[in-house]
Structure 1
Amino acid sequence: MSDETVLALLAQVGALITGDHLVYASGRHGSSYVNKDALYPHTAATSAVCAQIARHFAATGVEVVAGPTVGGVIMAQWTAHHLSALTGREVLAVYAEEEPDGEGKRRVLRRGYDALVAGRRVLVVEDILTTGGSARLVVAAVRAAGGTVVGVGALCNRGAVSAERIDAPELYALSEVPLESYAPAECPLCAAGVPINTRVGKGAAFLAAQRATG
């Protein structure tokens, strides 16, 4: 599945947004967005992209697939489903939840998932990579639980994220879409007064935080 095929699939389901003012999960701003929430209701399309990730990692002995909440839960389920079919053995799917960690945050495996990960080979999946922060936290959570990370599979790498940045032995992304992003204080869209999209991304939360501190 080529970059063009993946992007065409995203555009077909309305998941590719351009020419707008958006706030990403990282807090940075930009004019384009891959709205994975528009992909997930389309189960055939979601299955297709996860099947490609599963095929790539099928020979690595994956026993568990782990993703971050929320979108990564869906990707983990579908990828584990396809890995089970490809390998002829059950591959489990778990997710890592976010919790405060001092002044920052971390991800943890709760609900008994840490025991399912311990001593097993784990594939981490993520939908969109902007800074790679969420994927890196899941990688850390898997290792903290005693799992071995075999790699990270992603739907879209839009921040030129490397395997080294997320502390993974391998990073495989279905599409590489390097798009410019800006810190809020340096955002030319903000400077030009372009309204922030509050329907997708973190725009609504960003504006609410501005009002609370303003």
Structure 2
Amino acid sequence: MNLESIYKECKAYLSGHFLLSSGKHSGFYLQSAKVLENPQLADKLCKELSLVIEQYGLDFDSICSPALGGILAGYELARACKKRFIFTERVNGKMTLRRGFEVKDKEKFIICEDIITTGGSALESAKVLEDLGAVVVGFAALANRGFCAVKNLNTNSKVNAKLPENLPLFALGNFDFEIYDEEHCPFCKEGSKAVKPGSRTN
């Protein structure tokens, strides 16, 4: 499965000057919503991801995603794995479990995102669940932006990676885009203004 080709065919592989959810800037952006708007394609991708996880024999009970971007990927992955699905969401800037969702003591979770950059949002979701007595056993995403180590792709983590190294991350593809702090962004120095095509502001 060539994930890059799929994103390009779906017009989800964008080039320009982008502000990422992490606050950093990049010349490329993966708009997974354009991929996941096709239910048949979403089903195909998440079934493939479920097979990757199955190959490693990871034991888990449920899947949780941080809203908003991870919900479709997480739901489809849970469906493929025949597991329960819940999601966390930010309330006044703090990641929270709402809507009557409950977590059992020692319930084993995979945290699923559409895209993992540094893993910050996934880690916030993991902490919410762990504070409620759950156990996070791994992470999953359709794609990794090159910072976190991906178990099935044998990639290494970079300095900005936030996911714990003792837990596996599974992904269908790795996109190693260059990202910049605003003060070091070459696009900003050229006078360009970063746009944010993600889910938090539009």
- Offset at 1:139? 1.4
Residue 6 of structure 2 corresponds to which residue in structure 1? 9
Q: Is the 8 A contact 1:197 1:203 kept in 2?
A: no
Counterpart of 1:176 in structure 2 is: 174
Q: Give % identity.
A: 24
Q: Residue 107 and residue 203 in structure 1: after superposition, are their counterparts in 2 closer, same or farther (change >3 A)?
A: closer
* 1:50 partnered with 2:46: yes
Equivalent position SS for 1:125: strand
CA distance in 2, matches of 1:24, 1:130: 9
- After TM superposition, give the deviation of residue 16 of structure 1 in Å: 0.7
State the AA in 2 paired with 1:38: K
1:195 is displaced (CA, Å) by 4.3
Distance in 2, matches of 1:40 and 1:202, equals: 14
Query: Normalized per residue, which structure has more helix?
Result: 1
Q: How many residues align?
A: 189
Q: Distance in 2 between matches of 1:201 and 1:93?
A: 23
Q: Please list the CA deviations of residues 86-142 of structure 1 after superposition, one character each: whole Å capped at 9, or x if unmatched.
A: xxxxx1100011134xxxx542222232x2453311111011122211011111112
**1:95 matched to which residue of 2?**
87
Give the 3 Å change call, closer, same or farther, for CA 71–203 of structure 1 in structure 2: closer
Question: What's 2:141 paired with?
Answer: 154
Displacement over 2 Å in runs of 4+: 56-62, 115-119, 162-165, 194-198, 201-205
RMSD in angstroms over aligned alpha carbons?
A: 2.2
Give unmatched runs, 5+ long, in structure 1.
Answer: 85-90, 206-214
2:70 aligns to what SS in structure 1?
A: helix
Q: Does the C-alpha gap of structure 1 residues 94 and 204 become closer, same or farther in structure 2, counting only changes over 3 Å?
A: closer
* TM-score, structure 2 as length reference: 0.84
Residue segments in structure 2 that go unaligned for 5+ positions in a row: 151-160
Q: Which residue of 2 aligns with 1:165?
A: 162
User: How far apart are 1:162 and its partner, in Å?
Assistant: 3.5
- Matches for 1:78-117 after TM superposition, within 5 Å: 78-84=76-82, 91-100=83-92, 105-113=93-101, 115-117=102-104
Read off the aligned partner of 2:96 and give its amino acid letter. Answer: V
